[in-house]
Structure 1
Amino acid sequence: MNRRFFITTTGAAVAGSLISTGAQAASVITLEQAALPYPAEALEPHIDATTMNIHFGKHHVAYITNLTKALETAKIQTRNIVELISDLSKVPADSLAAIRNNGGGHVNHTWFWQWMAPAGSGPSAPEGKLGEAIQSTFGSLDDFKKLFGEAGTKRFGSGWAWLIVKKDGKLAVTSTPNQDNPLMKGLVPDADLGTPILGLDVWEHAYYLKYQNKRPDYITAWWNVVNWTAVAKGYEAAKA
């Protein structure tokens, strides 16, 4: 698996979002949030505009603000947040929790917006090599959705459900707590490590205004706005 290629393509918005102002001002860094690739109301009725505006404009922004502060405190300069959170072993202990949580929040959400698209704007199911891999690995698309849905539904509290490409190139479904993701070596169990190509945010802020405590209903509706074109590109990159 060419993980660097994946980071450079699928994670480009994250990898390039940390910008140093120059060697003479190494302590000053700026994180930027990429614009949504569609209007906030474009995912309705499955995900409402109010939730999208709050989720993108407040929750994601808060992760960026807090990550910026944590990086400044830790005196860390890097241009690639994905690589930073993939190996946090060199992060100072007193900054680890803040960079883990907010770095994960920034990376995961940047991917999340790209993994969705307005219903009907692309294929409604995985096609090509990705479709073949899902069928051969899980038996059928419905079986995959069931397993993925269970990963999201059974995640206690806050977290994510993931479709990943493992080191051997095979697909797997897993979940992580809070803002962890399957790239976080040393924090995530080895069995759950891999390259994320699809992820679902099951924090309550992602769905509670519309679905209240009915997380399974949110997951079922979310399949209508999955951007299978983006997922397929991530799969090809991870396999390269």
Structure 2
Amino acid sequence: MSKRKIFYVEDDETLGFLTADSLENQYDVARFTNGKTAFEAFCKNTYDLCILDVMLPDMDGFEIATEIRKRNQEIPILFLSAKTMKEDRIKGLKLGADDYLVKPYSMEELLLKIEIFLNRSVKTSTSNATLYKIGAFEFDPNNYCVTKDSQTTNLTDREAALLKLFLDNKNTVLKREKILLELWGTDDYFMGRSLDVFISRLRKIFKEEPNIRIENIPRVGFKLVVE
């Protein structure tokens, strides 16, 4: 069985070598040190997951992620960055990233994140092509999109996974811990803040539909209400 392909961009030669060397035991790693060169390669090849540094020469990680999402809504994107400000993390997630790890990071944690994202992608691609009806909306989890009146909104892999989890448990309270463990494999504080960003995105999709809403359940979690 061929190895899954990782698109890895890091301009620190030592860190890039050590990380790629660790990943190559399990994955086929394509490593780049220049943002522009890396993105040109992304456009010509097929990868299963992206790992991006933020501060890169010629084209930074945020710019690369933005361009990737214009072309591919499904591929998982993971930022590894020395930029520790909350605003930088939230910006990365809003651009469509699935996670944001701060340097120095644990190799064990990185490998766990990669496995979670890749396993979820496999489950989605091999699941039955079930379409969900939500009021006037139709959600296609295999193609990561929500459609209403011929207007389609594309979702990222993480947004689609979150919406599917809500729909599989509609009108039922989901604890924050359960959602975080299902989607990120951890329930730490920052992942909780990340979850709020993704829920805000889903709310915008359904904001004009009064019979569909995601309710906050204080100190417990959330509930997708479909009337």
TM-score norm. by structure 1 comes to: 0.25
Bigger relative CO (Cα 8 Å, ≥ 6 apart): 1
Structure in which a larger fraction of residues adopt strand: 2
TM-score norm. by structure 2 comes to: 0.26
